[in-house]
Structure 1
Amino acid sequence: MIKELLLQKIITLLDQRIELVRIAIESAKESRDNETKSSVGDKYETGRTLMQMEVEKNRIQLNKTENLKHELLQIDTSKKSTIVEFGSIVKTTQNNYFISSALGKIEINNEIYYCISLASPIGKLLHTKQVGDQFSFQGKVNLINEVY
């Protein structure tokens, strides 16, 4: 259930991010297309070029966010993990982690979960560990209490 709630919240955040990026793309396109030709031709071309660069930057961001959403939608929230892998929730003596993507801190039912990727420093330490394993991060020894 927690995994489903976390995933729903993340997908909602990503949908909001996707909408904002789409709005930014449309705004940049509109600015580019409405740029009036001034008496100085170079200024006109520079403005259009800058707006086109903004459109491209936002398209890249949109593509990355949509790919991330697609990847996260592959998580089977009913799967029970015994080892830490993509889609696992890990509860340690220090923190709770959702192994998904580097999206930061999310609160569910008054508990904090850190959404991290397997490529992150702590994600690398946790990968393939199981309940009862220990790991050291930033000088603190942590015990894995739950994996699911």
Structure 2
Amino acid sequence: MPDRTDRASFVVLLVLLAVPWSVQTFSRGGGTTFVFAWGLFNTAPPNATFVWDFFFLYTQGLPDYIYAWPISVVCYVLALASGFVGLVFGREDPRVTGGLLVVAGVAQLSLARGFSVQPYRTAWPLGTLAFVVVAWWLYWPAARERFRAVWS
């Protein structure tokens, strides 16, 4: 069972930075908002808000479900660090990396659900799908072997 993340797997982890983690659409001419690890991009009017600005400048009156976003970012950054350690040093526990991706996905699902209960807004949790697929595809086979080794 490999303890090393290969370059292709690490690139897949990096690609999650470019995937919108959540997409909110507005039925009353409000455009679309894309939530990424780095921030938000709104289409109407076109503008970007970085995650640190959102939480350190615009913190007044944020609903609780918004805090799922930085939780997912932290979990993703830790998964990325775990994959990097596996790539560079050959020491990675796929249960940790995959588990962090799944937790990030669950947090994104919570964020999308919170956005979806608002009037005239629909949220699509693309990050949840992306994180779970990457965890299953890249890390589940090695994690399953680790579980088998522990329980045998």
**Pairwise TM-score range, normalised by the shorter structure:** 0.3 to 0.5
Normalising by structure 1, report the TM-score.
0.36
Normalising by structure 2, report the TM-score.
0.35
Higher percent of residues as strand: 1
Identify the structure with bigger relative contact order (alpha carbons < 8 Å, sequence gap 6+). 2
For the pair shown, the structure with the greater C-alpha radius of gyration is 1
